[in-house]
């Protein structure tokens, strides 16, 4: 019997939080997963009618399971996600008064740092509308750590039939790099000699490390500031989902590219834990 697949959608009762629900519903259908909606209330503050309190009074109950908990929201969400081995958390980037300014609200920021489960961040500016995954953008820095983290993204691409675009952003001069990373050719003017070989090797490394890597994937290379290159590529190719890898730390001065991508995103961003 296979492990139960779960999509966990935390809702805090705000209208903005509901913008993540259509994405969670679509993801659950793609993954053949059970959709669990989680409401976390302060100690002793759990409402009698949880579905009505979080705006689900008109939602079809057959599509989802409503769970509830009390205490710290981020801790409760992380604990709930850890109950299932194959869980994905889907939540709005920011809700409530305290989240009006900044890339992420306090809860979503803490969830990203406290769970190693995949977390899909839905922009607070996204309309509360159905979501379809047709094109997935996967930025890749060439490192083995990033390759190892991407299995859930490749599985989702296969399950959804989405077009997979892998984007390698060439390192800036003087940037510190993983010595094992597959970097772009040194002599970029000799495209006819080096680029085809490099492209084949890059994709071969991905496919050999991840058996679920789709053969139809296409590799593109961009140059410039990584977050800007990713945002531009996502817009030009109408990406419905951007996949980013993170070490879990979102403190000041850390994960600058991820935070920039989250700030500019118009569509969901799937954040995968990279390393311990």
Looking at the fold, whether 73 and 157 belong to one and the same domain comes out as: no
Residue 273 lies in a domain: no
Residue 51 lies in a domain: yes
Looking at the fold, whether 216 and 111 belong to one and the same domain comes out as: no
Looking at the fold, whether 43 and 91 belong to one and the same domain comes out as: yes
Domain count, the chain: 2
How many Å is the Cα radius of gyration of the chain? Answer: 19
- Final residue belonging to a domain, choices 90, 122, 154: 122
Residue 272 lies in a domain: no
Looking at the fold, whether 90 and 49 belong to one and the same domain comes out as: yes
**What local confidence, expressed as pLDDT, does residue 6 receive?**
95
pLDDT value at 49 more than 70: yes
**What local confidence, expressed as pLDDT, does residue 205 receive?**
83
Residue 38: domain span: 5-122
Looking at the fold, whether 60 and 159 belong to one and the same domain comes out as: no
Instruction: Find the range with the poorest average confidence among 33-42, 83-92, 148-157, 244-253.
Output: 244-253
pLDDT (mean) for 28-55: 91
Looking at the fold, whether 15 and 109 belong to one and the same domain comes out as: yes
Residue 195 lies in a domain: yes
Looking at the fold, whether 118 and 139 belong to one and the same domain comes out as: no
- Final residue belonging to a domain, choices 99, 122, 145: 122
Looking at the fold, whether 143 and 234 belong to one and the same domain comes out as: yes
Looking at the fold, whether 77 and 9 belong to one and the same domain comes out as: yes
Of 2 and 240, more confident: 240
Residue 268 lies in a domain: no
pLDDT (mean) for 9-33: 93
Residue 130 lies in a domain: no
Looking at the fold, whether 173 and 214 belong to one and the same domain comes out as: yes
Residue 271 lies in a domain: no
Looking at the fold, whether 100 and 164 belong to one and the same domain comes out as: no
pLDDT value at 271 more than 70: yes
Looking at the fold, whether 190 and 114 belong to one and the same domain comes out as: no
Residue 267 lies in a domain: no
Task: For residue 83, give the CATH number of its domain.
Answer: 3.40.50.620
């Amino acid at each position: 019997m296979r492990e139960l697949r779960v999509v966990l959608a935390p809702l805090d009762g705000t209208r903005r939080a509901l913008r993540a629900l259509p994405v969670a519903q679509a993801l659950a259908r793609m993954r053949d997963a059970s959709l669990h909606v989680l409401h976390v209330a302060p100690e002793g503050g759990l409402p009698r009618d949880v579905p009505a309190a979080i705006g689900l009074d008109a939602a079809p109950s057959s599509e989802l399971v409503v769970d509830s908990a009390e205490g710290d929201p981020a801790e409760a969400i992380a604990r709930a996600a850890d109950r299932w081995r194959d869980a994905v958390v889907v939540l709005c980037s920011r809700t409530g008064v305290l989240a009006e300014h900044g890339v992420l609200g306090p809860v979503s920021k803490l969830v990203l740092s406290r769970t190693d489960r995949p977390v899909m961040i839905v922009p607070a500016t996204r309309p509360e509308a159905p979501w379809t995954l047709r094109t997935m953008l996967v930025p890749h820095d060439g490192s083995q750590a990033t390759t190892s983290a991407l299995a859930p993204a490749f599985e989702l691409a296969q399950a959804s039939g989405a077009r997979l675009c892998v984007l390698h952003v060439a390192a800036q001069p003087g940037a510190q790099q993983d010595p094992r990373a597959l970097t772009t050719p040194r002599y970029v003017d000799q495209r006819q000699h080096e680029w085809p070989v490099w492209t084949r090797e890059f994709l071969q490394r991905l496919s050999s490390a991840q058996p679920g890597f789709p053969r139809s994937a296409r590799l593109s290379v961009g140059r410039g500031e990584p977050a800007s290159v990713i945002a531009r590529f996502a817009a030009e190719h109408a990406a419905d989902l951007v996949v980013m890898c993170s070490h879990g730390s979102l403190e000041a001065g850390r994960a600058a590219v991820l935070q920039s991508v989250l700030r500019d995103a118009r569509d969901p961003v799937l954040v995968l834990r990279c390393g311990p």
